Amino acid sequence: MPASPSSWLTPLASRIAALSEAAWGRAGIVRMVGASPALADAQTRLDRFARVDRPVLITGESGVGKELFARAAYLLSPRNGRAFVGVNCAQFVDENLLISELFGHKKGAFTGATTDRKGLFEEADGGVLFLDEVGELTPRAQAALLRAIGVGEIVRLGESTARRVDVRVVAATNRDLRAMVADGAFREDLYYRLAPLRLHVPPLRERGDDWQRIAEAYLAGLCRQAGEDRRLGASAVRALAGYSWPGNVREVRGLLDTAFCLCLGDTLEAADVEPELRAEAGELDETTLSLAAGGSGDPYAQMSRGQGSFWSVVRDPYLDRELNRDEVRQIVERGLAEAGGSYKRALRAFGLPEAEYLKFMDFLRHHRLKPERYRRNAA
């Protein structure tokens, strides 16, 4: 079992950490902790792909560290030393704002566009642009991205003149883009432009003892920040060893944040981590049961009782990643089932006035949240 800092990083990961510190300082160090065969295979592909000046598509579950791989691809590439710019494509509800962010806009192109503005493609000219959650792009944004990658040209919103850009695109998604292509939700030509090089980051449950390496490395960082000396005890290791880590690396860190704050001694034992494991399992079970049966933590039940609207109870937690896409679809499907399949009649159950029907439908379409059985319904 891993116990020493020397086992936390592979030689390639150590090199990446040194490059990142030189580029961004200690606060920006990229630490790809782990030594499992699954991670080593992904790092080998990363090292080879980084040298080829072509787009890369990074896939993997939420929380596995796709952005770390994107940053590492930049650091290992000939473009290191130029711009690295990143954006989460899922954060924009308004399509114009998304397109403006990526490609820029002309003054007056839309309400609030008070000055001419460069987009991220121009900011990243000569370097690397990281597009996280690329599967959330709208059809219009997909078409513009296709042109930018295919011919190296962008057009600012509100303009007609093309501008040349030299940008390497690294994209990431936790969605199955090939399935989305088959469903007509993602452009096939864009998929092949984005994915000449495909890199999958394995989930933590497939990485053997890497969870412990990550935990020990993260705990060491917490100790440095707090000026304290704590370690992961044997009973805690046994308690955590069989856990599947559905939230991946992000979940390891969250659990340790809480356990570190509540631990009263210098060793984190099973008693410090087991309540957090039970809480995680309870939250997962509660979500599943609540969505199916309308328990007290059920967002749909909250809206039905008048304790908030769709925007505050569903949309905001979804955008904050507290609810996932399948959970939101289940909520919407329950409202539609009770409304006989009518989106307009379902507005009441979601605490929304009829005046917000188009806004509601735009949100569902933009984030592809319409349940499969009601996807063709229009009203």
Q: Quick one: which of 125, 18, 128, 122 has its CA closest to 84?
A: 128
Say how many C-beta atoms besides its own lie within 10 A of residue 288's C-beta.
13
Number of H helices, E strands in the chain: 18, 9
Contact assessment for residue 84 and residue 128, using Cβ atoms and an 8 Å cutoff: yes
Tell me what pLDDT residue 282 has. Answer: 52
List, in order, residues 6 or more apart from 261 with CB less than 8 Å away: none
Please give the structure tokens belonging to residue 80. 């290191």
DSSP letter at 211? Answer: H
3-state secondary structure 118-154: CCHHHHCCCCEEEEECHHHCCHHHHHHHHHHHHHCEE
Contact assessment for residue 32 and residue 207, using Cβ atoms and an 8 Å cutoff: no
Task: Tell me how far apart the terminal alpha carbons of the chain are, to the nearest angstrom.
Answer: 58
How does pLDDT run across 211-242, given as a tens digit for each residue? 999 999 999 999 999 999 999 999 999 999 98
Burial 95-111 (b: 16+ CB within 10 A, else e): bbbbbbbbbbbbeebee
Nearest-angstrom CA–CA distance, 181 and 187: 6
Nearest-angstrom CA–CA distance, 332 and 346: 8
162-164 and 153-155 as β-strands: parallel, antiparallel, unpaired?
antiparallel
Nearest-angstrom CA–CA distance, 63 and 246: 9
Nearest-angstrom CA–CA distance, 336 and 110: 34
Nearest-angstrom CA–CA distance, 345 and 343: 6
Tell me what pLDDT residue 287 has. Answer: 46
Nearest-angstrom CA–CA distance, 175 and 160: 33
List, in order, residues 6 or more apart from 71 with CB less than 8 Å away: 20, 30, 84, 130
DSSP letter at 353? Answer: -
CATH 3.40.50.300 domain locations along the chain: 5-202
How does pLDDT run across 239-273, given as a tens digit for each residue? 999 888 989 999 999 999 999 998 888 999 998 88
Contact assessment for residue 150 and residue 167, using Cβ atoms and an 8 Å cutoff: no
Burial class (CB in 10 A: 0-12, 13-18, 19+), 24: middle
- pLDDT per residue of the chain (379 residues) written in tens, 0 to 9: 444 555 689 999 999 999 999 999 998 999 999 999 999 999 999 999 999 999 999 999 999 999 999 999 999 999 999 999 999 998 887 888 889 999 999 888 888 888 888 999 999 999 999 999 999 998 999 999 999 999 999 999 889 899 999 999 999 999 999 999 998 999 999 999 999 999 999 999 999 999 999 999 999 999 999 999 999 999 999 999 988 898 999 999 999 999 999 888 899 999 888 877 766 555 544 444 344 444 446 788 888 777 889 998 999 888 877 788 888 888 998 888 888 888 888 998 899 988 888 889 888 888 888 887 665 555 5
To the question of domain 5-202 being in CATH 3.40.630.30, the answer is no
| Stated pTM of the model | 0.74
Contact assessment for residue 94 and residue 363, using Cβ atoms and an 8 Å cutoff: no
- 82: Cα within 13 Å, side-chain hemisphere: 16
Please give the structure tokens belonging to residue 276. 């957090």
Contact assessment for residue 9 and residue 32, using Cβ atoms and an 8 Å cutoff: yes
For the sheet containing 56-59, what is the strand order?
Answer: 84-88, 128-132, 168-173, 56-59, 197-200
By residue count, the chain amounts to 379
CATH 1.10.8.60 domain locations along the chain: 208-290
Q: Quick one: which of 319, 87, 61 has its CA closest to 174?
A: 61
| Domain 208-290 CATH class label | mainly alpha
Residue 119's DSSP bridge partners are none
